Amino acid sequence: MDKKEDMIAKIKEAGLTGRGGAGFPTGVKWEMVKSQKADKKYIICNGSEGEPGVFKDKYLLEKYPEVVVEGIKIALETVDHSLAYIYLNKEYYKQFSKKLEKLCDGLPIVIFEKKWGYLGGEETAVCEVIEGKRPIVRKKPPFPGESGLWGFPTLVNNVETFYHVGRIKEGNFKNTKFFCVSGDVKKECVWEFPAEYTIRQVLEETGNFPEFDFFVQAGGGASGEILLPSELDQEICGASSIIIFNKEKTDPYELMRKWAEFFLEENCDKCVPCREGVYRISEMVKTEKLDREFLNELFFVLENTSFCSLGRGVAVPFRSLINKVL
């Protein structure tokens, strides 16, 4: 076994899965890119966090940028003939690009500023943006691992995933995850816990389990599901974010209007179900007159016919809030 295969074997053995939300096994992804026959290959470290309540990559770029860069370096050594991009949203670019440039000095790594919103963080949209185009999601397959940037095999992982690869190399990986806790809390914070921790464990161990009547939004401040206190004995899907809402102080319609604005602003208008569906939802939450039967049909259409995960995920927060809180 050569050194490159050895690193992939170590990642597989560690059981690392992508920390961007999809949870795909990292070692399998790396192996797929490595096994492609191509003159060029690319690596993208995705630091484009754009959903409210998600700020763990920011925390890692602030506290441990050298470990993140170490993870990218390992990817460069493992995937031959490659060039890497660190893809950052505007705020992170402003804050971290100088420090990262210093850390990457002499390495084939480009620090790239994302000029677009949330959708520009989806892995195929990232490829479009780096190629100088609008962030339009590509049809999959082919996956970026087979055909990504300019048609070449491209390994896309987020900041936290590269951070953990760096920790595997150091022999210091403990299968942890970074959790963002925000909302009605004393202080917004990022915490590191075992990956399998439940929402209840995270809230209890951080001293954030509310004494007031509450609900949470887990997995992202737009696309995350609303959960009641009786539903917290589960792991978080999607981004590891938990937002706490004081039930008495939260206006559910105001919350839904915020989500609707987010999706109206961030969708790309490419496909009818998402473009029209989000518009209809936003009109309904504005008037505060919900036609539940119509909404159920709309959610079904969004989930089953939208082109990308943004449109497919729109129903989750609205449906769970309407069914559980209203």
Residues that bind ligand SF4 (CB under 6 A): 119, 137, 267-271, 274-275, 306-308, 310-311
Closest CA to 81 of 39, 45, 111, 110: 39
User: In the bound complex, what is the minimum distance in angstroms from residue 308's beta carbon to ligand SF4?
Assistant: 3
Closest CA to 300 of 318, 284, 325, 287: 318
User: In the bound complex, what is the minimum distance in angstroms from residue 300's beta carbon to ligand SF4?
Assistant: 15
User: In the bound complex, what is the minimum distance in angstroms from residue 219's beta carbon to ligand SF4?
Assistant: 18
Q: Which is nearer to ligand SF4, 43 or 285 (CB)?
A: 285
User: In the bound complex, what is the minimum distance in angstroms from residue 275's beta carbon to ligand SF4?
Assistant: 5
Q: Which is nearer to ligand SF4, 158 or 267 (CB)?
A: 267
User: In the bound complex, what is the minimum distance in angstroms from residue 119's beta carbon to ligand SF4?
Assistant: 6
Q: Which is nearer to ligand SF4, 244 or 310 (CB)?
A: 310
User: In the bound complex, what is the minimum distance in angstroms from residue 92's beta carbon to ligand SF4?
Assistant: 22
Q: Which is nearer to ligand SF4, 33 or 137 (CB)?
A: 137
Angle at 307 between CA 225 and CA 266, to 5 degrees: 60
Alpha carbon 34 to its chain centroid, in Å, reads 24
Q: Are 26 and 157 in contact (CB under 8 A)?
A: yes
Q: Which neighbouring-strand residues pair with 112?
A: 87
Residue number of the CB atom closest to ligand SF4: 311
Tokens of 13: 């053995």
CA distance 306 to 313: 9
The pairing of beta strand 241-246 with beta strand 176-183:
parallel
Question: 3-state SS string over 111-141?
Answer: EEEECCCHHHHCHHHHHHHHCCCCCCCCCCC
Q: Which is nearer to ligand SF4, 209 or 307 (CB)?
A: 307
| Helix orientation angle between 315-324 and 252-266, rounded to the nearest 10 degrees | 170
User: In the bound complex, what is the minimum distance in angstroms from residue 72's beta carbon to ligand SF4?
Assistant: 28
Q: Which is nearer to ligand SF4, 65 or 311 (CB)?
A: 311
Q: Are 131 and 279 in contact (CB under 8 A)?
A: no
Q: Which is nearer to ligand SF4, 129 or 268 (CB)?
A: 268
